[in-house]
A and B are shown apart, each in its own frame.
Chain A
Amino acid sequence: MMQTLLVRALLVGVLAVSTAGLARAQEAPIKFGKIDEADLTDKPFVADSAASAVVLCDFGRSRFEYGPRGFVVVFERIRRVKILKKSGYEYATGQVSLYHANGQEEKLTTLKGFTYNLVNGQVVKEKLNSESIFKEEKTTNITIRKFTMPNVRVGSVVEYAYTIGSDFAFNFQDWTFQEDIPIRWSEYRASIPEYFDYRMLMQGYEPLAVQEQTESTGQFSVSYKGETVGSGFNTTRTEGGSEILMPRQTNHRWAMQNVPPLREEPYMTTANDYVARIDFELAGVRMPGQPYQMVAGSWEKIDSELLTDDEFGTQLNRASFLKDQLTPLLAAAGADPAARIAAVHGLVRRSVKYNGQSRLMATTTVRRAFDQKSGSSADVNLLLIAALREAGFAANPLVLSTRSHGRLQPESPMLNRLNYVMAHVALPDGQEVLLDATDELAPYNMVPTRCLNGQGRLVLPEAQKSRWIDLKPKDRLTSYRQVTMALDENGGLRGSVHQEHAGYLALAQREKLRELGEKKYVAELGASHEGWSIPKYTFKGRDELHKPLMLEYEFVSSSEASAPVGTVYLNPLRDFGMDKNPFLHENRRFPVDLGSQLEETVLVNLTLPAGYELAEMPQGLVMELPEKGGRFTYGVQNGPTGIQIVSRLTLSKPVYSAEEYAYLRAFFARLMAKQGEQLVIKKKV
């Protein structure tokens, strides 16, 4: 029952092999310039009243051609959209992203478009003008072409088609079957000659309507120039010429029908992990008369490539320049490995500031990063590994994909799926420690939240020993509050609070404290409780990052009443409970990914004014989520020294499946109702 709906499959093997003849008979689902007139009326869209626009058809095709510079991948796309509301006008603007590097490029070879409107019962067709196409240099390697369609109104159908010729076989166009508006039909075809071996990875929660694979024979006219070989008297000239290559070709076809829109929800890693999509990675090349040449294809290969790369592996043993600084630090740390690791980590963290960019590969040498005092996550953490090795530890890189970059598929070895590197240390006693030095306020062994994303790959010097490591957080979101408070006869409260935040919550609170300073932090705390003043406070453990952040404070919450009252109704957890159910929405299609476990404890000790007694109190409660997913306990006790209230919440899974959502939501609803219950306190008569 807990199994996920996610369809994630490596598309291998033969699914539906038919003959080449049949493949050719397969008609395109859309013809540019020929629309169905009915689409200009309202009738076909009665069921889409909520959508701002509908993609009628999105059709892409990738195939190979042979050009003067070798094989090129040609990608053609035709896209037709119906505009249903003014808020859907944005879908009349398109953009194409083009990559270029080292003299090679992706080139937009054609771009054409039409807007169709129904004017007095007649179809009026207007052309996209080339002067409405703009160019933007996004980065040094990416150019964007933007265009917008003419005379778009509510009810218009807009259509555009373009072709991209790409010199990069490794950059085969991926296809996304799902968007934030409904899609009637989305189809992608890829014709791949036997020379190119691609891994194809399908993901998402939507079913394929078509999945076919046929074989045919390709035809490429390959010409080559004459060449001068040798020198001096031995010079000979080889003839130029041409040749027809006729490789076996696999024609893939995937389509989805009536794809619902995908929307962001809270507690998601990134929408990219949930969208229906197919990705391609070039695994190898097998040119005629040449042996198979692996391009990617195995983690083992990626491991060994990383280890020899100048921007990765070779940096890992280059921290001898740190010797002078490490020696006294290690001497001061003593023999305890944890203290020694923390000392090395402290040095790196203080020496290089993380510039906010997540990277797998270094942008410079570790030496230079150290001198510049700033760098990407790779610059920081590769230096950390090198420094740990210099200090005698078995430190190695742990490569991974961050939450915003998307889930890593161990079954799909692709270098571009990695975007981050942490440090891993194996201690002689068999313990393993994960480290990251990008955060000024995190303890040395805390896995950053951004890295809590499935598995990472530990790359070991003996590449074949490299293995997968679960990126499970050792830390939790932990809060603990102990409240001692006294009620006065007017119904006012005063008391003191001992508050501890640990794990990820300590990090978050330390960040907030750094931003606001102590005075404002406390002012904000006071403002979140109606009628509070906080006359005294002390922070403890601000700089001891491996310990909880502690705050002791006193509070006064005066009553509106100016004279003693006979009955006081008091919700003792009003200021210490939860104020909104985090799971507001009735249902959910994706897992709830909290990243880490959570634990929240509140202990209240309440004393009553002389002459008052507890007349009524809430009943205790213990409840659990299915499969030990979480627990809430609540209890009230009236003792000789006062009334004790205990409220404790534990969520023991970092990720809950979509099926568990309803339980989570109901669990929190009951928890909040219980926390909202009141004590009735009466003057003795």
Chain B
Amino acid sequence: MRFIPAFALTLLFPLATLAGPAPKYAVAELPAALRENAHAVERRHDELLTVKSAARTVETVMRATTILDEAGSRWASELVYYSSLNRISYFRGAVYDASGRQLRQLRTQDIRDISLSDGFSLATDARGRVADLSQPTYPYTVEFEYEVVSDNPLFYSNWKPQPVEQFSVQEATFKVVMPAGLALRFQEQRLPAGTALAQTTVAGQQVYEWRVQNLAALDEEADAPPVSELTPAVYTAPSEFEVQGHAGKLNSWADLSRWTYELNANRATLPPALVAGMQALVAGETNERARIQKVYKFLQANTRYISVQLGLGGWQTFPAADVAAKGYGDCKALTNYCQALLSAAGITAHAALIKAGSDEHDIRTDFPSSQFNHVVLCVPLSQAAKADTVWLECTDQTNPFGYMGGFTGNRHALLLLPEGGRLVPTPRYGAAENCRQRHADVYLDANGNATATLRTLRTGLEYDAVAGLAGLELSEQKKRVGNRLALGNFTLDRVAFRPLPASAPVPGLVETLALTLPGLAPPSGKRVFITPNLLSRLAAPAPAVGERQADIWLDYAFSQLDTVQLHLPASLQPEQLPAPVQLTTPFGTYSSQLLALPNGSLRYIRRLEMPRTRFARAEYPAYLEFRRKVSAADKAQLVLVKTDA
């Protein structure tokens, strides 16, 4: 079944001429279907993972990529990471013109060595070598080869031959060579039909090999799952490993939990005075949640987050006594410290590994492997009537008590327990929690100018986006608030913020604004026009281009409730009120209506609730229809007529 283009056959018999190397990767040989929608084409990508032992792996990569246009030129450069646990054995490259003639080879002086300092770490040993083979005319082909020897075999390679949109693949292979006695664990995802693992034994070594060919480029679609969930992948992981003398097994989540627990065990000793201090802090407080809260408050007031990522330090915490002395630490150190503080106060808590990030998707729960980048604290409540848990983020000095938010909520975490922990879900924030409630009073004058006061409460993940505003300088607050307001012309006369009390079930922030709105309701002759839905217009959906390929994936649940009170001058009367709208669909529910009140003012009420949900692509037209109707109702206009007073 292997597809061998005609030119490849000639390559099998290279002519030993003196005219230089035979052409490679001629663009004329590229099937037209692979150029469709593509900025770049992977001509060949061979990835080899050689597991030398439980303590060492070697990753060897060769890729040849044809860059079709400027938008694909990021593939013309390569960055190879290294650190104290990973070293580069070689890094080579060459570039070929469209006909496949070699233009030049990468020279040592073309490779730059850079620090991969993330900008917030105080210290990191992450570095990289970078080479750029960009050319002024398209198409052309770059070829890179490198090898990295790793003493951190907690991670094996994940093979994702088609990682982004607008990128096609002619041929890609992934090979793993395992030494005798060491088993490979792997998980295949979405391999094209007919793709099969070839497994052989060579000199006692198990060899696994996967191959994909002719993967056409994908287009990006609105409200679709990320491309990483649409294209083929093979995930691999060790069954046994050893990092810096710390050996472990990885056949289950419990294995990974146990190893991480042991690596970090016995680092929780606090100075006696601090232990006594914690005991005194919670003395007399009988409510379990309140005891935890007191300790958390102490942590937040006395520590701060400083990231230090050096060698095994990426996995192992600093001792709690260090944090007690310096008042800072990274996520592991602060979590370990908080756990020790709670323990001193008589409260049991467990550290939990998590994949943090505001747009990170959940880990692959059915494939135990190291997929985490952060650690939080999980405190089971022993006195609660039903099983309950308090989750603590220990790296943020202002995070509300018990709140995980968009950084760590709605996903799975791995409890670290001596006997081996399990995956547990972190708090979910749904449409009810992620809520924005707004009340506006708009005072319109006869010329269409207005003033308004706005009071907006944001809770849950809606709160995340504004959580930092309250701490900023007024001019900066005005700038940020102003940039977000969907109004053409305005002056912000007043900006104020007030957080919800700590006792609220989810954290929230109340924003109060006073605005001057010149020309809000532009007059035409004896009429003025105003959109009662002042600020909450849901954007119209992008029109469909071609046939929908991917499922509909709405990953964010939220709800909005808007009330706008329109105070009219005596000289203006509504000419016609927009009709009420009520929509109930699986994609969301919506209602809006405008009421005339006895006192002559008008009240507009709008509700929108969108769930977190997934639909088959066949539903896309119905979804678009819903979005279109919401968008139309949202911009419905009110016409006011000047009465002859």
Contact = CB atoms under 8 A, between A and B. Distances in A.
Q: Do A and B bind each other?
A: yes
Interface of A: 50-52, 85-87, 89, 92-93, 129, 132, 134, 136-138, 140, 146-148, 150-154, 261, 263, 349-353, 355, 371-374, 440, 514-515, 519-520, 523-524, 526-527, 529-534, 560, 569, 571, 578-581, 584-586, 615-618, 668-670, 672-674, 676-680
Contact of A617 (B137, B478, B524): B524
Nearest to A514: B70
Nearest to A351: B136
Contacts of A132: 326
B187 interface: no
A680 B468 CA distance: 45
A-B pairs, 7 with minimum CB distance: A673-B519, A616-B525, A151-B327, A134-B123, A353-B136, A50-B473, A527-B542
Contacts of A531: 540, 628, 631-632
Interface string B313-335: 00000000000011110000000
A569 B482 CA distance: 29
B50 interface: no
B398 interface: yes
Given A372-B104, A514-B71, A680-B524, A669 B136 contact: no
Interface string B513-544: 00000110011111101000000000011110
B122 A148 contact: yes
Contacts of A560: 632
Contacts of A136: 115, 117, 123-124
A93 to B, nearest CB: 7
Nearest to B491: A586
A530 B136 contact: no
B246 interface: no
Contact of B523 (A86, A586, A677): A677
Nearest to B528: A678
Nearest to B324: A151
A154 B471 contact: no
Nearest to B488: A672
A616 B524 contact: yes
A532 B482 CA distance: 28
Given A150-B326, A152-B304, A530 B69 contact: no
A515 B71 contact: yes
Nearest to A373: B135
Given A530-B631, A678-B522, A154 B69 contact: no
B214 interface: no
Contact of A672 (B489, B491, B523, B639): B489
A520 B492 CA distance: 37
A658 B489 CA distance: 20
B637 interface: yes
Contacts of A586: 478, 491-492
Contact of A93 (B122, B491, B525): B122
Contacts of B489: 581, 668-669, 672-673
Nearest to B576: A567
Given A526-B543, A569-B639, A673-B518, A374 B134 contact: yes
B30 interface: no
Interface in B274-327: 300-302, 304, 306, 308, 325-327
B135 to A, nearest CB: 5
A579 B306 contact: no
Contacts of B525: 615-617, 680
A619 to B, nearest CB: 9
A152 B482 contact: no
B592 to A, nearest CB: 13
Given A93-B306, A136-B115, A527 B543 contact: yes
A616 B543 contact: no
B74 to A, nearest CB: 11
A86 B134 contact: no
A86 B303 CA distance: 10
B387 interface: no
Contact of A673 (B308, B327, B479, B522): B522
B244 interface: no
11 contacts: A50-B474, A51-B473, A153-B327, A353-B134, A374-B135, A580-B488, A585-B479, A618-B524, A672-B489, A673-B518, A677-B523
B132 interface: yes
Nearest to A669: B489
Given A440-B70, A673-B519, A680 B527 contact: yes
Contact of A579 (B69, B488, B491): B488
Contacts of A526: 542-543
Interface residues of B, number: 66
Q: Chain B at the A interface: mostly helix, strand, loop or mixed?
A: mixed
A355 B134 contact: yes
Nearest to B474: A50
Contact of B635 (A89, A515, A530, A669): A530
Contacts of A373: 103, 135-136
A529 B483 CA distance: 20
Contact of B522 (A51, A440, A520, A676): A676
A679 B70 contact: no
A679 B522 CA distance: 11
A519 B135 contact: no
Nearest to A140: B113
B198 interface: no
B115 A137 contact: yes
A154 B304 contact: no
Contact of A669 (B133, B518, B540): B518
B488 A87 contact: no
Which of B327, B397, B476, B529 is the most central at the interface, judged by chain A CB atoms within 10 Å of its CB?
B327
A352 B489 CA distance: 46
A147 B527 CA distance: 65
Nearest to B310: A134
B114 to A, nearest CB: 8
A669 to B, nearest CB: 5
Nearest to B473: A50
A150 B519 contact: no
A539 to B, nearest CB: 15
Interface in B616-639: 628, 631-632, 635, 637, 639
Contacts of B306: 93, 148
B629 to A, nearest CB: 8
Contact of B328 (A150, A372, A529): A150
B584 interface: no
Given A578-B488, A615-B525, A677-B522, 6 more contacts: A151-B326, A373-B135, A515-B70, A530-B632, A560-B632, A618-B522
A551 B133 CA distance: 34
Interface in B58-81: 69-71
Contacts of B302: 151, 153
A679 B639 CA distance: 12
Contacts of B12: none
Contacts of A153: 301-302, 327
Contacts of A152: 304, 327-328
B640 to A, nearest CB: 11
A136 B123 CA distance: 7
A480 to B, nearest CB: 22
Nearest to A524: B542
Given A138-B115, A146-B123, A148-B306, A523 B136 contact: no
Interface in B443-488: 468, 471-476, 478-479, 482-483, 487-488
Contacts of A150: 325-328
A533 B471 CA distance: 44
B545 interface: yes
Interface string B392-413: 0000011000000000000000
A674 B124 CA distance: 56
A581 B492 CA distance: 14
A519 B545 contact: yes
Contacts of A137: 115
Contact of A86 (B397, B472, B474, B541): B397
Nearest to A679: B524
A148 B326 CA distance: 10
